[in-house]
Chains A and B, each alone.
Chain A
């Protein structure tokens, strides 16, 4: 499955942030979005994930084949690491979580309540969730926040494995993951200039 975005314009809170964005992500490819804070990286990823409508343009993707990682990891602190992960595995119709625990070195922590994990360990759990979804396109918003160097390395190798298996990834990040094969898209030139109102919000303004 390939992700094709053509001439997309998006708004956050009724204010247009980006316009004229076009890119492709083919199977086996990774695209890294870059740009200053507030340029609209998160909004773009939410639009691609289908959580938010676009102002104009086209996003061609299959909602049944993507998985999304947001700033918040969606971890329940009173459930154990394994319970958190197997819940998401079941939601996506799968059951095996051992490979995901292994990939992010969480096996030793499997029975610990997620509330007791450090910020970096929680993030690793949030990223391990991607592996249990079995989805082809990973959409990740700042996936490396609070990860240490070693964990970033685990993450990069998880992406490499995913890409070599025909998967694809779209991520917004500020750090260099060391993924030589990833393409980079700088969003700064696409900053919106026109004030196009969102018809849905207009009724409330």
Chain B
């Protein structure tokens, strides 16, 4: 099982693997925000948690169609389906590899970019916590979307349309936790909700992803 994870990480790191693309996109989105809303530092710090969460979510979305489509194109997905590895494990490992190459770098970059948006320093910890807790759900839900659209030519846009509504709860509670943390309010409730959504997604969605993948491979 670890072999699949290592292969996916290695593929992401090598030429054309797309590692860092999401991170660069995140950086550019956050840098563009002050140009769009103006340089008032009070306004920027008010919207900082929401902008950082939305940027991270869109950056995550950008690399979703690579999770399964590349393996489908070169035939590896058929061969993996016939291998001793259950498809549930395959999709879980793919989601984990996506999180390690996309979600985790976003979490680490977020406090650096928060400086650009004039976010108060007491908000950094809740921001990192909420992203750390929420981004795994983005990868797992995204893998489900990728499994749904795997056989479609140029299914990237459809994938975004399917996945974005499913991201809504994660975005609401994630951004809310980061915002409340920044202004010094209690963050337990949104954090618990966020953690619940992530745990639920990790527990249930691999089975759904594997089921739709089996149908799509027919």
Binding site for B on A (CB under 8 A): 49-53, 63-64, 66-68, 70-79, 83, 87-88, 90-93, 129
Contacts and interface: CB of A to CB of B under 8 A. Distances in A.
Contacts of B82: 49-51, 63, 66-68
Interface stretch (B21-29, B35-43, B71-79, B158-166): B71-79
B75 A52 contact: no
Interface residues of B, number: 25
A75 B76 CA distance: 7
Interface stretch (B3-11, B98-106, B140-148, B198-206): B3-11
B211 interface: no
Contact of A72 (B16, B75, B84): B75
A49 B79 CA distance: 10
Given A51-B218, A64-B84, A91-B4, A70 B78 contact: yes
A112 B78 CA distance: 25
Contacts of B121: none
Given A53-B218, A78-B16, A87 B3 contact: yes
18 contacts: A49-B82, A51-B218, A63-B82, A66-B82, A67-B82, A68-B78, A68-B82, A72-B73, A72-B75, A73-B74, A76-B11, A76-B76, A78-B16, A83-B10, A87-B4, A90-B2, A91-B84, A92-B84
A131 to B, nearest CB: 14
Contacts of A91: 3-4, 80, 83-85
